[in-house]
Structure 1
Amino acid sequence: MTTASVLDWTTVCPLDRLESDRGVAALVDGVQVALFRTADGLFALDNQDPVSGAYVLSRGIVGSRNGVPTVASPLHKQVYDLRTGDCLDLPGVSVSRHEVRCRDGLVEVRLRQEE
């Protein structure tokens, strides 16, 4: 059985450094994370595309599908739900999602790692 452990919050950047509807990659405690700022809020996923294995999700196309905020992989165009990390095109495929918040104008990420 897999359980998730939660690490401490890590400050990544000022909120105004994140452009709306664009992704940016950040290294958080040795993990490449893709950060997204959209009208729906802030989101953090692993930057590694689970289909190709390449670290490219931060370069994906941000959008929505049926009201769900999404990012499409720039390689094979699979679409991922930014809220859950679930792939909307391939059942059973997902990317790890991390907690993200803005505190005092700074974006902070807390990794969720599988044990």
Structure 2
Amino acid sequence: MNNECKPNTWIPVCALDDIVPNTGVCALVKGEQVAVFHVDDGGARVFAIGNYDPNSHAAVLSRGLVGSFGERVVVASPIYKHHFDLSTGECIEAPQHSVNAFPARVENGQVWVAA
């Protein structure tokens, strides 16, 4: 059996209850640090973006503050406070420093991220 992940393979990350609502955690998905967020704005949703903040050159986005920027759900980097859209990975203040966004879902209480 080949355990190597194929593109768009869903990877189990953790239980949804392991992530405090409106915060993030870091997970290693196919060798890449991914920031996974549990957003509770009336319904539990999950988002996943790259954890590496290209503005500060540090892997810190999972530790940022979750909030909104207009209609967008974002995380503010804990270092320079740049806002990253959790749906797209776009850095609002410096779009050239956007990060990857990954499909994420909750199934049977488990958080899954597509690699």
What TM-score, normalized to structure 1? 0.86
Q: Distance in 2 between matches of 1:11 and 1:44?
A: 12
CA distance in 2, matches of 1:70, 1:48: 15
Deviating beyond 2 angstroms after TM superposition, the runs of 4 or more aligned structure 1 residues are none
Sequence identity of aligned pairs in percent?
45
SS for the counterpart of 2:96 is: coil
What is the 5 A alignment of 1:47-62? 47-62=51-66
Give ranges in structure 2 of 5+ residues lacking alignment.
Answer: 1-5
Q: Distance in 1 between matches of 2:10 and 2:68?
A: 28
Is the aligned partner of 1:31 residue 2:18? no
- 1:54-80 deviations in whole A, cap 9, x for unaligned? 110001111101121000111111101
Residue matched to 2:91: 87
Tell me how far 1:51 sits from its aligned partner: 1.2
TM-score scaled to structure 2, two decimals? Answer: 0.86
Shift of 1:22: 0.6
Where structure 1 has 5 or more consecutive residues not aligned to the other structure, the ranges are none
Corresponding residue of 1:65: 69
The CA RMSD over aligned residues, in Å, is: 1.4
